[in-house]
Chain A
């Protein structure tokens, strides 16, 4: 850790590593909103809290590996994204409930979204419950890897390098997977168009 570059987070990390466990609370308070936002982008609402908790616990466990060269926020972002990935891997492993069948109204949603329309109307349609249902259903058809990579690159429009850093994969791997995942997603939604 760079001794001369003491940001507030680095100082807190040092304090925790010296044995003051309670100092970690400052990091949780400072970054909880950011972590909740990341996790909320990937996992269902009702499971966000548990994934946020596991992200902070994992961060605490591996605090010794934080070198302070990059902001703590970036470091915990990576941990959060990997926790979301682990969440989906676990979910898919023990998945028992059959994948829900969509109503005709939900299927029609994509048609309405992609139709020739004004931006305001497009955004209003995107907020509809049916649209969210359709997106969740489509993502559910993908593997955890494809789901994560397509969410980061295609839906959140992060760069390949950024997604690779967050997932801990190589850029080539992200590029190839993202391309395949997008193709799969389009194929899944083909009946709706």
Chain B
């Protein structure tokens, strides 16, 4: 039988290779997929968080225009005319005084 001396790195390499490795855990698939589905929901929430301020601002602007449009006899044209003529508008803003 052949006998020989091994160096440190050879010895450590052999120990490393001889180490018992854990088998793949089949239950882990459910855990991984669960986390990934949560990530999908988080991404959807991120979109809502970003989109909400824009849609809220657009909604407010639309509501304001609607109020202006329905609060005067001829709507927005009256408002602009009032501002140009220097009169107070229904918004309470001072006119341009032109």
A: residues with CB less than 8 A from B are 21-22, 24-25, 28-29, 32-33, 36-37, 40-41, 45, 48-49, 52-53, 56-57, 60-61, 110, 113-120, 122-123, 126-127, 131-132, 134-135, 138, 151, 154-157, 182, 185-186, 189, 193
Contacts and interface: CB of A to CB of B under 8 A. Distances in A.
Interface of B: 1-9, 11-25, 28-29, 31-33, 35-37, 39-40
A41 B15 CA distance: 11
Which A-B residue pairs are the 3 nearest by beta carbons? A126-B14, A113-B11, A155-B16
B14 A113 contact: yes
Given A21-B36, A53-B32, A57-B35, A37 B21 contact: yes
Nearest to A134: B15
B29 A32 contact: yes
A45 B31 contact: no
A193 B11 CA distance: 12
B18 A154 contact: no
B9 A113 contact: no
B15 A33 contact: no
B19 to A, nearest CB: 6
A52 B35 CA distance: 13
B12 A24 contact: no
A110 B8 contact: yes
Contact of A122 (B6, B16, B29, B40): B6
Contacts of A193: 8
A18 to B, nearest CB: 13
Given A154-B12, A155-B12, A28 B33 contact: yes
Residue of A22, A114, A123 most packed against chain B (CB within 10 A): A114
